[in-house]
C-alpha cells in the first residue's frame, strides 16, 4: 500500500482530513451496522441535543507502525470501556466496546496510507466520539445519536527535543466532587478553555487543578494525569473520584511495578507535599509522559531536581519502556497491542 506524500516528522498537532471515517446511527432504540464513508461533514438539525445541551463524549487514541512493520493501536478495549462509562453518565446509549474496537480497527485500516512509518515519531491520531443528534429543546436526553470515528496524522510530540513544562496552580476548578470529572466529555473541556488561555497568557504551559472540595489536593491538568516520583524512587499518582482515568497513567503504573521493579501507589496527594518529590510528569496518549520542571503556586516556585532541560531518570525509564512496548521493541503484556490487519 502506497503511503501519502506527507512530511511526517514535520507534522504538527492539527486536523488533516483523511479518506475514511466510520459512522453508526442510533435510531428507534438500536445502533445500525455502521459504515465507512468518505463524507467528512456531519449534517444535523439546528436543535440537535449536542448543540443545545452538550450531550457528547469522546475518546483519543493512536495508531502507529511498529519496528517490524505492523500497524497497531494500544489497549483500545480500555478506550471502549471508558466510552461506555462516559455515555452512561450523560444518559446516552452505550456503543458496545467490542463494536467500538472493531470500528476503530476498521477506520485505521481504511486510512492505512496515513499511518506514519516507524521511526518518524508521528502517529495517526484516532478520535471516536458520539453525540445526541435529534432536536431537543426541553432539557432531556436525545432519542437519536451518532457514533463516529475519524483519524488524523499528527507529528512527534517532542519535536526538537524534550522541554520540561512549567505549570501553575489554577484558581479555577476543573471538576466537582461527584460531578463529571471522571468521564471524557466535551463539557469538561469547554469550561477549561478560559483557564488554559489565561495560563498561556501568563506564560504557563498548563494548569494544575486541585480538588474542588478542599483545594488542598492535586487532581490533574486539563487533559493529562499527574505522576510523581519520590526521592526514594517510588511512583505515586493522585487518587480521586473526579480525575479522568488515563489509560497511559494506568499502564505506566503497571510498567513501573512489573518491568522496572518499582513500588507504585495511587493515593491522595497534597499540594503541600509537592516540594518533596524528585520528579513530576503528565501522562496522556499524546505525549505518553511530558516531564514537568516547575510548578508555580501563586508566586511560590516548586522546582523539581530533574530540572528544566531533561526528563528525570525514572520518568525517562518509564517513557522508554512504555514507548518500547508500544513500538514492539519490548515484549508487551498480554492484550495490550491490537494489530490492524
Ligand X SMILES: *Cc1c(COP(=O)(O)O)cnc(C)c1O
Contacts with ligand X by CB under 6 A lie at 60, 184, 220, 223-225, 244, 246-249, 283-285
In the bound complex, what is the minimum distance in angstroms from residue 71's beta carbon to ligand X? 19
163 is catalytic: no
Nearer to ligand X, 207 or 285 (CB): 285
Of 308 and 336, nearer to ligand X (C-beta) is: 336
Tell me how far, at minimum, the Cβ of 32 lies from ligand X, in Å.
27
In terms of CB distance, is 284 or 291 closer to ligand X? 284
Of 3, 99, 163, 184, which residue is the catalytic one?
Answer: 184
| Bridging pattern class, strands 35-37 and 21-27 | antiparallel
Q: Residues 100, 126: contact at Cβ < 8 Å?
A: no
Of 20 and 226, CB closest to ligand X: 226
Q: Name which of 205 and 220 has its Cβ closer to ligand X.
A: 220
CB of 248 to ligand X, least distance (A): 3
Three-state DSSP string of the chain: CCCCCCCHHHCCCCCCCCCCEEEEEEECCEECCCEEECCCCCCCCCCEHHHHHCCEEECCEEEEECCCCCEEEECHHHHHHHHHHHHHHCCCCCCCHHHHHHHHHHHHHHCHHHCCCCCCCCEEEEEEEEEECCECCCCCCCCCEEEEEEEEEECCCCCCCCCCEEEEECCCCCCCCCCCCCCCEHHHHHCCHHHHHHHHHCCCCEEECECCCCCCEECECCCCEEEEEECCCCEEEECCCCCCCCHHHHHHHHHHHHCCCCCEEEECCEHHHHHHEEEEEEEECCCEEEEEEEEEECCEEEECCCCCCCCCHHHHHHHHHHHHHHHCCCCCCCCCEEECC
Q: How far is it, in rounded angstroms, from Cα 108 to Cα 220?
A: 30
Q: Which residues pair with 151 in a beta bridge?
A: 126
To ligand X, the closest distance from the beta carbon of 224 in angstroms equals 5
Minimum distance, C-beta of residue 14 to ligand X, in the bound complex (Å): 18
Q: What is the CA radius of gyration of the chain?
A: 20
Q: Which is nearer to ligand X, 136 or 149 (CB)?
A: 149
Question: Rounded to the nearest whole angstrom, what is the least distance from the CB of residue 161 to ligand X in the complex?
Answer: 22
From the CB of residue 261, how many other CB atoms can be counted at a distance below 10 Å?
Answer: 8
Q: In the structure grid, which three cell numbers stand for residue 310, read together?
A: 531533561
The catalytic residue positions are: 184
Amino acid at each position: 500500500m502506497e503511503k501519502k506524500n506527507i512530511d511526517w516528522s514535520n507534522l504538527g498537532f492539527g486536523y488533516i482530513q483523511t479518506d475514511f471515517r466510520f459512522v453508526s446511527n442510533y435510531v428507534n432504540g438500536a445502533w445500525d451496522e455502521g459504515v465507512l464513508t468518505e463524507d467528512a461533514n456531519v449534517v444535523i438539525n439546528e436543535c440537535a441535543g449536542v448543540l443545545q445541551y452538550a450531550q457528547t463524549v469522546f475518546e483519543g487514541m493512536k495508531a502507529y507502525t511498529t519496528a517490524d512493520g505492523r500497524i497497531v493501536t494500544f489497549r483500545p478495549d480500555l478506550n471502549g470501556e471508558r466510552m461506555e462509562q462516559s455515555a452512561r453518565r450523560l444518559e446516552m446509549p452505550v456503543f458496545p466496546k467490542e463494536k467500538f474496537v472493531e470500528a476503530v480497527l476498521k477506520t485505521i485500516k481504511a486510512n492505512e496510507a496515513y499511518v506514519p512509518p516507524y521511526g518518524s515519531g508521528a502517529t495517526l491520531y484516532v478520535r471516536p466520539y458520539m453525540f445526541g443528534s435529534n432536536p431537543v429543546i426541553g432539557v432531556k436526553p436525545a432519542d437519536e445519536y451518532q457514533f463516529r470515528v475519524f483519524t488524523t496524522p499528527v507529528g512527534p510530540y517532542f519535536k526538537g527535543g524534550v522541554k520540561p513544562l512549567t505549570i501553575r496552580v489554577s484558581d479555577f476548578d476543573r471538576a466537582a466532587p461527584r460531578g463529571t470529572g471522571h468521564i471524557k466529555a466535551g463539557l469538561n473541556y469547554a469550561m477549561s478553555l478560559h483557564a488554559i488561555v489565561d495560563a498561556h497568557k501568563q506564560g504557563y504551559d498548563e494548569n494544575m487543578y486541585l480538588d474542588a472540595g478542599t483545594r488542598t489536593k492535586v487532581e490533574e491538568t486539563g487533559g493529562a494525569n499527574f505522576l510523581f516520583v519520590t526521592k526514594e524512587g517510588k511512583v505515586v499518582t493522585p487518587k480521586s473520584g473526579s480525575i479522568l482515568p488515563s489509560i497511559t497513567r494506568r499502564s505506566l503504573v503497571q510498567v513501573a511495578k512489573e518491568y522496572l521493579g518499582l513500588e507504585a501507589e495511587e493515593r491522595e496527594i497534597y499540594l503541600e507535599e509537592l516540594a518533596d518529590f524528585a520528579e513530576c510528569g503528565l501522562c496522556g496518549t499524546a505525549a505518553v509522559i511530558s516531564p514537568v520542571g516547575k510548578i508555580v503556586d501563586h508566586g511560590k516556585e516548586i522546582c523539581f531536581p530533574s530540572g528544566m532541560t531533561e526528563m528525570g531518570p525514572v520518568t525517562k525509564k518509564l517513557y522508554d519502556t512504555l514507548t518500547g512496548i508500544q513500538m514492539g521493541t519490548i515484549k508487551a503484556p498480554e492484550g495490550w497491542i491490537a494489530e490492524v490487519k
